[in-house]
Amino acid sequence: MKKLYFIITITLVACTQDYTGSSAQLTVELDTTYTTIGAPIFYTVSVQSTDDKIIQFPEWQLEDPLEIRSSEISISGIQKIGRFEIVFWDTGKVAIPGVTISVLNMDSTFAYDLTADTMTMEVVSITEKDPSFKQSGGGIMPIKDPVPVRFPLPWQTMILSILLLIIIIAIGLIWTKRLKADISYEERPEYLEDPDTVAMRKLNKLDQSELLTKGEIKEFYAQLSLILREYTENSLYIRTLEMTTEEIRENRSVFPYTDDQITSYFKILSSSDMAKYAKHVATVDQCIKDIAISRELVVETVPFWKIV
């Protein structure tokens, strides 16, 4: 019974060791097997392990005639890669000792080591690699003809610099013209006829028309409102032709008329709006009265704009 127990124990230990050893895989690569003295080569170590192991690269120290110029450790997926730059300082067959990688458990305790095989590199002198150097016999090689050097033109920088210069010049020209520009003010227009003369003639023409006789009250008030708005715009330079009655009322402060005059003015404009939009039918007597008020309004407001 004891022998059976001993055999089972040995079997489990052996299986455990096999699993541990197979949980990591080490691969070594050289970028070349032939180099010259002083020319670096790259020694790459790739270690692939399971998630429950930690790979630790050592501080690799090499003795003469080998020298490690630089080293770099990186991770690519499930692989951890070490890249070493090695330089040789002697010719012949040079052996590169295998690097030893430590494998740790997740709690950072030591699990086992992985050691790469020793690799051989053939190192030759520069004259053996390039036989043309032997022609000098150890002396100075003949001077070669000069080789023209072509410098690449920075087209992008040149184009951007030219555009920047053009923009600066354009801004300067625009700013100079802006400083020298003369400000011109609109002069008061000269009329062939005074606004009051034109308004009185149109009022008389409206009074003599047959609109009231035909009962066209809406058209009568439309023309009456247009005459008064045109008179106000031409005499006071207020754009009453483009304003509604409500907008004119809101800008009462810009009119120099007296309270009675502005009241009569708004009364006629409101009557016109009522006739045009509210279908309000005024009497003929009211129309005659409004045209008389319009004449009085034109005559009374002349001193506000006309210089005698």
Per residue in 5-23, pLDDT (tens digit) is: 444 444 433 343 333 444 6
Q: Considering only CA atoms, which of 303, 289, 307, 301 is closest in space to residue 231?
A: 301
Going from the C-alpha of 160 to that of each of 85, 152, 191, the distances in angstroms are 42, 16, 57
Q: Is residue 279 part of a domain?
A: yes
User: Residue 42: is its pLDDT beyond 50?
Assistant: yes
The total of structural domains in the chain comes to 2
Q: Is residue 56 part of a domain?
A: yes
The pLDDT value recorded for residue 96 is 83
Q: What is the CATH number of the domain that holds 109?
A: 2.60.40
The pLDDT value recorded for residue 59 is 79
Alpha helices for 22-154 (secondary structure H):
126-129
**Mean pLDDT for the stretch of residues 133-150:** 61
300 and 199 share one domain: yes
Radius of gyration of the chain (CA): 54
- Report the percentage of the chain scoring pLDDT > 90: 22
User: Residue 133: is its pLDDT beyond 60?
Assistant: no
Give pTM, 2 decimals: 0.40
**Mean pLDDT for the stretch of residues 109-131:** 76
Q: What is the CATH number of the domain that holds 292?
A: 1.20.120
**What's the distance, Cα to Cα, between the start and end of the chain in Å?**
144
Q: Is residue 99 part of a domain?
A: yes
The pLDDT value recorded for residue 62 is 78
pLDDT (tens digit, 9 = 90+) per residue, 233-291? Answer: 999 888 998 899 899 999 988 999 999 999 999 999 998 888 877 667 788 888 999 99
Interatomic CA distance for residues 45 and 34, integer angstroms:
19
**Mean pLDDT for the stretch of residues 119-137:** 64
**Of residues 21 and 162, more confidently modeled:** 162
Residue-range definition of the domain harbouring residue 108: 23-129
The pLDDT value recorded for residue 161 is 92
Q: Is residue 172 part of a domain?
A: no
User: Residue 306: is its pLDDT beyond 90?
Assistant: no
Interatomic CA distance for residues 269 and 302, integer angstroms:
19
CA 124 to chain centre: 57
CA 91 to chain centre: 59
Q: Is residue 155 part of a domain?
A: no
**Mean pLDDT for the stretch of residues 116-138:** 66
Q: Considering only CA atoms, which of 47, 56, 111 is closest in space to residue 80?
A: 47
**Mean pLDDT for the stretch of residues 72-79:** 77
Q: What is the token pair recorded at 234? A: 């031409």
Interatomic CA distance for residues 41 and 121, integer angstroms:
10
Interatomic CA distance for residues 101 and 26, integer angstroms:
9
The pLDDT value recorded for residue 10 is 40
Last residue of some domain: 80, 108, 129?
129
Going from the C-alpha of 290 to that of each of 57, 195, 221, 285, the distances in angstroms are 109, 19, 9, 9
The pLDDT value recorded for residue 228 is 93
The pLDDT value recorded for residue 72 is 82
**Mean pLDDT for the stretch of residues 70-76:** 80
| pLDDT band at residue 226 under the 50/70/90 scheme | very high
Last residue of some domain: 99, 129, 159?
129
The pLDDT value recorded for residue 67 is 81
The pLDDT value recorded for residue 19 is 36
| Residues ≥6 apart with Cβ < 8 Å to 301 | 235, 257, 261
pLDDT (tens digit, 9 = 90+) per residue, 169-213? Answer: 999 888 877 655 455 555 555 557 889 999 999 999 998 988 888
Last residue of some domain: 108, 129, 150?
129
Rounded to 10°, the helix 284-301/217-236 angle is 10
**Mean pLDDT for the stretch of residues 160-173:** 92
Hey, what amino acid is at 72? E
CB half-sphere exposure, 4, CA atoms < 13 A: 1
Q: Is residue 166 part of a domain?
A: no
Rounded to 10°, the helix 284-301/195-208 angle is 170
- Peptide bond before residue 65 is cis, with ω within 30 degrees of 0: yes
- Report the percentage of the chain scoring pLDDT > 70: 80
Q: Is residue 163 part of a domain?
A: no
Q: Is residue 224 part of a domain?
A: yes
| Residues ≥6 apart with Cβ < 8 Å to 290 | 221, 224, 267, 268, 271, 282
